[in-house]
Amino acid sequence: MADPSTCPPLTRASVIAAHALITPYIHRTPVLTNTTLSQLASAPLPSSSPPPNSTPSHPTIRFHFKCENLQRIGAFKARGAFHALERLKLSPTFNPSAGVATHSSGNHAQALALAARTNGIPAHIVMPHISSPAKLAATAGYGARIIPSGSTSAEREEVTAKVIAETGATLVPPYDHPDIMLGQGTAGLELQEQVAPVKLDAIITPCGGGGLLSGTALSCEGTGIRVFGAEPSFEGADDARRAYYSETGERIPSVKTLTIADGLRTPVGAVPWSIIYERRLVAGMYAVTEDQIKAALRLVYERMKVVVEPSAVVGLAVALFNEDFRAMVEKEGGEKGWDIGVIFTGGNVSLEALGKLFSE
């Protein structure tokens, strides 16, 4: 992929430029509101002692849900992949006929496959052989060449290096690259435009590798909108939160977790971390339990009637259930409260997986 030193500067203006590049290829996904969820987030938490009439008629948290589950390939990852391809096409050293390569068992695989096919470029996708048949089929369905590998990071990276050596393909990483971050940030940019005339007070997004969170933070730079990151706490998946509040602020380079939010099992990347922490463009990090993620998932299915994957609702779970976050909004938002943008990152969950989650 393009040498990061030749990439556009990591600024809001570069997110705007990225949006212009990818607009022909992506959906401008809808922004939904939901009175029930806004009222739930505005009512006191069960743990505090509620006043007699605890549900305010004018909710102090007003949600605006950016539905990237309705994005092409079912997730925001299409934005970064199309932006990476557009930027590569501008590079004199890129060899289109050799194509692009990555390793991913998730949404990035499908996103890169679609972006490559759209541009008539080969895509070589290294996927662990334990990937679900549905995911393998979906990625192959976009015309990509699938190369099986072992499931550890080392095995996947080794196979990817071999594929690149053999084909001359250019690596497109899933999150740890400026072009990917700028592409993902376009979701935050659209969200800001779509809620007008409302002005958002905050945006909260899930944080896995940090591409979306850092991109969103860039899209909000200088706007006064505060950006927050949300992670699962299960088995230490909240690596970015722990690093953010540690004494040294040092990024935690590896995590090993089987959180149900399977898109968020990766540690935050170095380039995203430079935005999230070092440049202080993210105002806070919060974590939620597996049960809180499931409760948020249930509310979205039953009340909003949209299909989201577990990772997609981690930001909503924070806003609904995290006491520190709620206390912060109460303090900062006062009587007027806050308009909060929440990015639903994706909707790629199999009915079997959903069934297992909720059949107990």
Which residue is associated with the tokens 């809620």? 195
Which one, 12 or 66, has the nearer CB to a copy of itself? 66
Restricted to residues 30-89, the positions that interact with a copy of itself (CB under 8 A) are: 69-70, 74
The CB-of-351 to a copy of itself minimum distance in angstroms stands at 4
**Do 67 and 194 touch, CB atoms closer than 8 A?**
no
One of 105, 214, 219, 311 is an active-site residue; which one? 105
Considering only the stretches 4-12, 165-173, 216-224, 300-308, report the one whose residues sit in contact with a copy of itself under the rule CB under 8 A: 300-308
Residue by residue, DSSP assigns 11-49 as SHHHHHHHHHHHTTTS----EE--HHHHHHHHSPPTTS-
Distance CA 164, CA 143 (A): 18
Interacting residue with a copy of itself among 132, 162, 235, 358 (CB under 8 A): 358
* Binding residues for a copy of itself, total number by CB under 8 A: 22
Question: Distance (Å, rounded) from C-alpha 278 to C-alpha 282?
Answer: 9
Applying the rule CB under 8 A, the residues between 306 and 345 that interact with a copy of itself are 306-308
Which residues fall within 8 angstroms of residue 229, CB to CB, at 6 or more apart? Answer: 204, 205, 206, 207, 210, 213, 240, 241, 244, 276, 282, 284, 285, 286
Residues 225 and 192: beta-carbon distance below 8 Å: yes
Query: Residue 201 CB, nearest distance to a copy of itself (Å)?
Result: 27
Check if 105 is active-site.
Answer: yes
Amino acid in position 86: E
274 noted as active-site residue: no
Query: Of the candidates 47, 93, 256, 302, which one interacts with a copy of itself according to CB under 8 A?
Result: 302
DSSP state of 76: T
d(CA 30, CA 8): 28
Q: In whole angstroms, what is the distance from residue 222 CA to residue 318 CA?
A: 24
- 298 touching a copy of itself, by CB under 8 A: yes
Nearer to a copy of itself, 28 or 298 (CB): 298
Residue 27 or 89 having the CB closest to a copy of itself: 27
Q: Which of 66, 77, 214, 219 is catalytic?
A: 77
Binder among 256, 280, 305, 331 for a copy of itself (CB under 8 A): 305
Region from 121-129, 149-157, 271-279, 295-303 binding a copy of itself, contact rule CB under 8 A: 295-303
Catalytic residues: 77, 105
Residues that bind a copy of itself (CB under 8 A): 69-70, 74, 297-298, 301-302, 304-308, 347, 350-352, 354-359
